Amino acid sequence: MGDQQPIVDLKSCAECPIRHKAVCARCEPHELADLERMKSYRSYRPGEAIVWAGDDMEFVASVVTGVATLSQTMEDGRTQMVGLLLPSDFIGRPGREKAKYDVTAVSDVTLCCFRKRPFEGLIASTPAVSQRLLEMALDELDAAREWMLLLGRKTAREKIASLIAIIARRSEAVKSPEARDTALEVDLPLTRETMADYLGLTLETVSRQISGLKRDGVIQLNGKRHVIIPDLDALLAETGDDSDGGFLS
């Protein structure tokens, strides 16, 4: 593991179908063929339910385009987002019969689906796949733990700043690293309500805190969703995180 090249990169599904082959140079041909045969694509409209908690899980999938959420709802309607699914993220747990969480499309979403049974067979027969899935699961676990710190201990303002920073980081991964001094621009893919579900707040508090960050010049707004970050460090200072955050692997 570590920096060793993954042989089958499930994340590459984001650029299906070509990428599988590109990364699978070291795969056995029959494994590749299996993967290709299993694949199918599905599309969802904004707000559409992809899976309801309790549904039978026929598929596992990889997000190709768009944004989806994983969430849990209590009987009285309180809901908490427990996963934000961006392109290349994986949906579904191999070995699980019934979905445990609601999966909802936030924007237009395309999934690359694999039928569950044969995919489980692939995991069992192809060590590289389970190794890759393990790495992805551990990354998600780290993200979940950072999220737990946010939910349990951060103030509303810190939560909002953290969310903007997280989205900036994930969309910034594409851009060149030297673009650090020019102002960053980020489109929030979420409504105020969805952000509230993410952060364990109400939508009113989200709105107020965004207004507050704007008033204090930490961010600028262009429309409701387009955020301009004039000084990334100023934003990061609002998150409550270690200033040298992210160095520890």
Partner DNA sequence: CTCCACCCTTGATCAGGATCAAGGTTTGTT
Partner DNA sequence: AACAAACCTTGATCCTGATCAAGGGTGGAG
Residues making contact with a second copy (CB under 8 A): 1-2, 4, 53-54, 70, 72, 74-76, 78-80, 82-83, 93-101, 120, 123-124, 127, 130-131, 133-135, 137-138, 140-142, 144-149, 151-153, 199-200, 240-242, 248-249
Backbone torsion region of residue 75, taken as left when φ is above 0, otherwise alpha when ψ lies between -120 and 50, otherwise beta: alpha
In the complex with DNA, which residue's Cβ is closer, 66 or 92?
66
Question: For binding to DNA (CB under 7 A), which residues are involved?
Answer: 47, 155-157, 191-193, 200-208, 210-211, 221, 223-225
Quickly tell me which residue has 């299906």 as its tokens: 16
In the complex with a second copy, which residue's Cβ is closer, 148 or 183?
148
CB contact at 8 A, 3 and 123: no
CA distance 96 to 234: 43
Shortest Cβ 231–a second copy spacing (Å): 20
In the complex with DNA, which residue's Cβ is closer, 131 or 191?
191
- Which entry of DNA, a second copy, none binds 221, CB below 5 to 8 A by partner kind? DNA
- Which entry of DNA, a second copy, none binds 224, CB below 5 to 8 A by partner kind? DNA
- Which entry of a second copy, DNA, none binds 122, CB below 5 to 8 A by partner kind? none
- Which entry of a second copy, DNA, none binds 203, CB below 5 to 8 A by partner kind? DNA
> What crossing angle do the helices spanning 127-153 and 156-172 adopt, rounded to 10°?
150
- Which entry of DNA, a second copy, none binds 205, CB below 5 to 8 A by partner kind? DNA
Shortest Cβ 60–DNA spacing (Å): 28
Paired with 109 in beta bridges are 44
Peptide bond into 17 cis (omega under 30): yes
> Minimal CA–CA distance to 171: which of 225, 214, 215?
225
- Which entry of a second copy, DNA, none binds 236, CB below 5 to 8 A by partner kind? none
In the complex with DNA, which residue's Cβ is closer, 130 or 202?
202
> Minimal CA–CA distance to 199: which of 162, 159, 165?
159
Count other Cβ atoms within 10 Å, centred on residue 153.
10
Shortest Cβ 157–DNA spacing (Å): 6
In the complex with a second copy, which residue's Cβ is closer, 151 or 166?
151
Backbone torsion region of residue 85, taken as left when φ is above 0, otherwise alpha when ψ lies between -120 and 50, otherwise beta: beta
**Residues sharing a CB contact under 8 Å with residue 214, sequence separation 6 or more, in sequence order:** 220, 221
